[in-house]
Structure 1
Amino acid sequence: MTEQTPPPPKWLQCNGQQLRKLAQAGMLWLEHNSQIVNELNVFPVPDGDTGTNMLLTMRSAYGRIQ
């Protein structure tokens, strides 16, 4: 017998405070994992900076909503 994943909610809502926390969580994840994302970056050019670019973008965006 296999476990089934429950279906996603039909409607998901969040308020501004929750959205800010979600953005912060994404930024913190990138702070810890941007190098892994850099290493995955091979298309279209293996320049190895996608994780860094994502992190800088998230920091800038998060700074604007503080």
Structure 2
Amino acid sequence: MGVTRQVLQAGNGTDKPKKGDKVTIEYTGNLLDQDSSDEYKRGKQFDSSKGRGDFETDIGVGRVIKG
């Protein structure tokens, strides 16, 4: 089990958030389903920020689950 990510727009390779920087994140959490035909084995969705507005948080200060 782990984290799968999908890059929607690649960065420039040099500008990266530092500890304490505020970032905006869109996420969807799905359970793992080994029988899924989806390439990421996504099962039932259990959470998502989509449709709830921007999710903003500070990076590296322990406010979100590591992933």
TM bucket (normalised to shorter chain) is under 0.3
What is the TM-score with the length of structure 1 in the denominator? Answer: 0.25
Larger Rg: 1
Q: TM-score, normalised by structure 2?
A: 0.25
Instruction: Name which structure has the greater RCO, CA cutoff 8 Å, separation 6+.
Output: 2
Please identify which structure carries the higher helix content: 1
Considering fraction of residues, name the structure with more strand: 2
